[in-house]
Copies of this chain bind each other. A is one copy, B any other.
Amino acid sequence: MSIEADVRRRAPRTESVGLHPTLPAEDYYAPEVFEIERERIFFRHWLCVGREEAIPNPGDYVVRDVVGESVLILRDRSNAIRAFYNVCRHRGSRLCSKPAGNLPGVIQCPYHAWTYTLEGNLVGTPNVSEADGLDRSEYPLHPVAVDRWDGFVFVNLSPEPAPLREQLGSDATDFARYRLGTLRVGHRVESVVEANWKILVENYCECLHCPTVHPELVDLVPTFKRGVIVEEDGGPGVRLRKGATTWTRTGRSNVPPFPWLPEEDRSLYHGMAIFPNVLVDLLPDVVRTEVLWPLGPERTLAVREWLFDPDAIARPDFDATDIIEFHDLVDGQDVAVCENAQKGVRSRAYRHGVYPPQDRFVYEFNERYRRARGPG
C-alpha cells in the first residue's frame, strides 16, 4: 500500500474512521490466532524472500525459513528460479542445511543420497533400482510457487496461488520511476524483535508516535512532527525539511541520488506497506526494505536491506554509513516501543484499544488483515 497513493485515490474523505476499536488483544499473543495466521495469511500470500541477485547463476541457492517451513530457492539449469520444500521424499530428511551455496547440477540428500535435478525430478536412488518397484517419477520434490517483481523474489506455499500481481495491486507500479529492479543490496541486517508482527506493521502505519519516539526524524520531516504520516491530500509525497535530500542526521549524504529520479522526488520520502509483511522506505539515494517474519505470536524476525544504485556502490568513495546509522537509530526507537506495547496487550485489563482518525492506516491494515484471515 503506497500510503500517499491511497490517500489521493480516496480523498476527499467525507467521514472519519473515527473511534473504532482496534483488533482484540488476543490477536497479538494467542497461539491459536498465530496458527490461523500461518495457514490463512502466510501460507496463502506471496512472501518476499529476498533479491534475485542472491542467486545469479545456475545451481545457486538460498534456504529460507518461511514461517516455520524450510524452503529451498534456486536457479535451475535454464536460469529460471524455482523453489521446493527442503525435504527428501524418501524419509523426510532436510536436503540443504547451509543457508546458501551452489549445487553441482543436482540436489543430493545427505542421508541416503537420493538425487534430484535442479528441476526437482528424482533421478538417483543408490542401491534401490526401479526393478525394486520404485518408480522415481512418482517422487519429485514438493514444489513451491515462485515469482518475481522488480528484483524481488516471492514464494507462495499455497498449492493454487493467485497471481503475484493481483496481490501487489498498484504497489507494483506506483514507484516504477525508482527502477527498483536495477538496485542492489548494499547492507543487510537481521534482528529479532519481541513483538507480534502486526504491532510492527501498525507502528509503520502511523506517525502519532513520531514526535514522542523519533525526535531526530521529525526534525527532518516536518509532516511527521504533526503526528501525520502523509499530508491530508496525499500530496506528491512527504517533503523533507528544506535542504534535506535523505534520512541522515544532517539530511545530506555522500551517496548521489538515483540519476534517473525525477527532480520532484529528490526532496521527498515515500512509504509503502506491501501486505502482509513488507515495508518499503523510498528516498532519493536509497530504498530500504524490511520484511517481517513471525517466529511466534510474540516474536518476529526483521530482515532489513538497503538498496542502492549499483554504480554508486561501485564508486571507490561509496560510504552509506550515515544513511544506515540513521535508519538503525529510528529502528531501535520503534523496536523499543513495540516491545513495550507487546507486554501491555497481554494484560487482562486490555481487551482492545481505540483508533483516533489519525490511526486510519492502522485501521485499514487491520481491515485488510481481517479480510485475509477470514471468519473464525
Which residues on A are within 8 Å of B, measured CB to CB?
16, 18-19, 22, 25, 28, 43, 68-70, 85-95, 97, 110-113, 125-128, 132-134, 139, 142, 157, 202, 208-209, 211-213, 226-228, 337, 340-341, 343-350, 353-354, 356-358
Contacts and interface: CB of A to CB of B under 8 A. Distances in A.
A132 to B, nearest CB: 5
Contacts of A354: 89-91, 134, 139
Given A25-B92, A70-B344, A92-B344, 5 more contacts: A92-B345, A112-B208, A127-B208, A127-B228, A132-B357
Given A142-B349, A348-B69, A22 B91 contact: yes
Contact of A349 (B22, B87, B347, B349): B87
Contact of A337 (B111, B228, B347, B349): B111
Contacts of A209: 111-112
A302 to B, nearest CB: 18
Contacts of A22: 91
B90 A347 contact: no
Contacts of A97: 340
6 contacts: A25-B92, A28-B92, A92-B350, A93-B344, A110-B212, A126-B212
A208 B109 CA distance: 12
A217 to B, nearest CB: 15
Contacts of A126: 208, 211-212, 227
Contacts of A89: 353-354
Contacts of A349: 69, 85, 87, 142
A232 to B, nearest CB: 13
A18 B212 contact: no
A46 B329 CA distance: 44
Contacts of A113: 211-212
A226 B127 CA distance: 7
Contact of A358 (B94, B127, B157, B228): B127
Contacts of A127: 208, 211, 226-228, 358
Contact of A94 (B213, B226, B341): B341
Nearest to A39: B348
B347 A93 contact: no
B211 A93 contact: no
Given A85-B350, A111-B209, A94 B132 contact: no
B69 A347 contact: yes
A212 B344 CA distance: 46
A93 to B, nearest CB: 4
A126 to B, nearest CB: 7
A112 B212 contact: yes
Given A337-B110, A356-B125, A356-B134, A347 B86 contact: yes
A347 B70 contact: yes
Contacts of A226: 127
A211 B22 CA distance: 59
Contacts of A92: 25, 28, 341, 344-345, 347, 350, 353
B341 A91 contact: yes
